[in-house]
Amino acid sequence: MRKLALPDEILLSIQQPARYIGGEVNMCVKDPKNVEIRFAMCFPDVYEIGMSHLGIQILYDMFNRREDTYCERVYSPWTDLDKIMREQQIPLFSLESQEPIKDFDFLGITLQYEMCYTNILQILDLSQIPLHSRDRGEEFPIVIGGGPCAYNPEPLAEFFDLFYIGEGETVYGQLLDSYIENKKRGKGRQEFLEAAAEIPGIYVPSFYNVTYNSDGTIQGFKPNNPHAKSKVTKELVVNMDSAPYIEKPLVPFQKVTQDRVVLEIQRGCIRGCRFCQAGNVYRPLREHSLEYLKRHATQLLDSTGHEEISLSSLSSSDYSRLPELVDFLIDYCSSRQINISLPSLRIDAFSLDVMSKVQDVKKSSLTFAPEAGSQRLRDVINKGLTEEVILQGAKEAFFGGWNRVKLYFMLGLPTEQKEDMEGIALLSEKIAEVYYDTVPKEQRHGKVQIVASSSFFVPKPFTPFQWARMCTKDEFLERAYIVKNKFREMKNFKSLKYNWHEADVTVLEGVLARGDRKVGAVVEAAYRNGALFDSWSENFDNRLWMKAFEDCRIDPDFYTVRERALNEIFPWDFIDAGVSKEFLRREWLLAQNGQVTPNCRQKCSGCGARSFGGGVCYENKN
């Protein structure tokens, strides 16, 4: 029986002690003494969020299939336990063995969202691992980062020994093998990092020097070690069916954010929305075969006992075998009382027909993402969605029995005008009118409910909008109030609701998303000021960050409100994400003229992803 790292008196004094004890259904159990590598896989947020992350579940399962490796998990302790651990000098521990993370060989941290950056320092600090990679000796784990935010790792460069750029199923085995070989030869940390730097997709930040121009922009970014590559190309799974997938997902004892089986049906997207980082860095679109998905769906459900299965994709409607897959799942799940969740569907007759089949008589909300209030601005962002399609989709949904619609928009998009902002309210009103104009009174299920939400636009790396300026906090709020006031003028105002995201959080996200190495000092200063769990609105304190910027003499506006020159060197330009800078520059210019680009199945736009040798780029081609 495992001995828990926390005594009963601590577990009984904190919120949700099940976060820290492990022992879940399907948890991997190995003897740490019988393996050559101990790998702590970390999600820098609370257990409920981290346990819902598909990528960690995939890597956890994949690593533990190796007899020489034991992969365990660690999450950010909530503020109550954080305080106790600091007071009592309790080192952060893994859930599986309950042993200190500092004794592991690797600490792998997934970088999903910029607002978790201070939590990364919390993980290192509580683990009693030096924050800076340069201060770590042979006795400390190799700290490795991966995930979407690794496409601009520079704000975190000082804190990580290396980064894995791209999809984890490809060269992690080679990296672990290299570590074992390095250890057998009696070599140390530096020799391993040099060997790792030669592996595709691996970036060792200490092996690169950055120089700056007098205006603060980057002058040059060059390797300082002969083992380092001048360009780091992302890793990508070309044949999705060849990649390992979860055999027995972990099943928690407490409720988590995604309390269901998740079946990934494809990666990438064909749509080419110009604001979307995921749609660019995960190019090209690659599908799983129907038989693969059928086999894994039944295996996942049988091994967990979950009562819901969700299909994971950036745009589920674009999966070419979706009708057959849905029919199979309906047949399999209906007799077993298992619900089917289909997020990321587009607004069309087929999608609505599918949803009507898989949802109960009591319809849940439908979610549409027009992103912009006017057709002009939807063309600018290359959304590929017309008002006619939106209204027709709403009409069919209302006839199908739905009367609740969620609409997602962005404010602060490039070229946005007042008419575009007010268009959010006008489009919401038109959708409400569709309900009252087309659904007879006797067939209505009460009033229609339209909830419109707007986030604030952040120009992300590897998107055509990476050259764009961001709004200031005041500009964001001014735009939100314009929309809010327009909603009050609508005839169906009582059926409409409007809300918006926090503006100061968005501005900070923009700094961290587009920052260079100098921003790392701000992250550390904010953490030492007390910033933690910044993605939780009740914990976020913008004053801590503003003080950090002031103390570090760094102007956040340099990273946000400044529009970039077309020839500027970006902090992430050393990464080859598959989409060329020339393609992104071309799309940026097309956006400013409101010109649309066809999706990948309609016409190849020459983005550069064809070089990977698979996916949608090679569909129906000999």
Q: What tens digit of pLDDT does each residue of 568-622 get? A: 999 999 999 999 999 999 999 999 999 999 999 999 999 999 999 999 999 975 4
pLDDT band (50, 70, 90) for residue 537? very high
Residue 527 has pLDDT above 50, yes or no: yes
Look at residue 368 in the predicted model and tell me its pLDDT: 87
Q: Which residues contact 478 (CB under 8 A, 6 or more apart)?
A: none
pLDDT band (50, 70, 90) for residue 1? low
Distance CA 427, CA 373 (A): 7
Among 56-60, 441-445, 503-507, whose mean pLDDT is lowest? 441-445
Beta strands in 323-458 (DSSP E): 339-341, 366-371, 404-411, 449-456
Residue 336 has pLDDT above 80, yes or no: yes
Q: Percentage of residues in the chain with pLDDT exceeding 70?
A: 98
Distance CA 96, CA 63 (A): 14
Among 155-169, 266-280, 305-319, 571-585, whose mean pLDDT is lowest? 305-319
Look at residue 360 in the predicted model and tell me its pLDDT: 53
DSSP class per residue in 226-243: TTS-SSEEPB--SSGGGS
Mutual angle of helices 418-438 and 473-488, in 10-degree steps: 30
Cβ 477 vs Cβ 422: under 8 Å: no
Look at residue 349 in the predicted model and tell me its pLDDT: 64
Among 61-65, 409-413, 562-566, whose mean pLDDT is lowest? 562-566
Cβ 94 vs Cβ 21: under 8 Å: no
Distance CA 512, CA 520 (A): 9
Q: Percentage of residues in the chain with pLDDT exceeding 90?
A: 88
Q: Which residue has the higher pLDDT, 183 or 349?
A: 183
Look at residue 363 in the predicted model and tell me its pLDDT: 57
Residue 487 has pLDDT above 60, yes or no: yes
Domains along the sequence of the chain with CATH: 8-233 (3.40.50.280)
Residue 355 has pLDDT above 80, yes or no: no
Residue type, 142: I
Q: Characterize the bridge pairing of strands 162-164 and 404-411.
A: unpaired
3-state secondary structure of 135: helix
Distance CA 127, CA 448 (A): 51
Q: What is the mean pLDDT of the chain?
A: 95
- Please report, for residues 293, 342, 353, the alpha-carbon distance to residue 327 in angstroms, rounded to integers and kept in the order given: 13, 13, 12
Q: Mean pLDDT over residues 240-265, rounded? A: 93
Residue 418 has pLDDT above 70, yes or no: yes
Cβ 219 vs Cβ 232: under 8 Å: no
Cβ 28 vs Cβ 38: under 8 Å: no
Residue 130 has pLDDT above 50, yes or no: yes
Look at residue 362 in the predicted model and tell me its pLDDT: 44
Residue 361 has pLDDT above 70, yes or no: no
Look at residue 445 in the predicted model and tell me its pLDDT: 77
The dihedral formed by the CA atoms of 324, 326, 329 and 331, expressed in degrees to the nearest 10: -70
Q: Which residues contact 185 (CB under 8 A, 6 or more apart)?
A: 191
- Residue with structure tokens 């607002």? 115
- Residue with structure tokens 């069916």? 241
The enclosing H or E element of 270 equals: none
Q: Which residues, in sequence order, are bridge partners of residue 223?
A: 208
Look at residue 387 in the predicted model and tell me its pLDDT: 93
What does pTM read for this prediction?
0.96
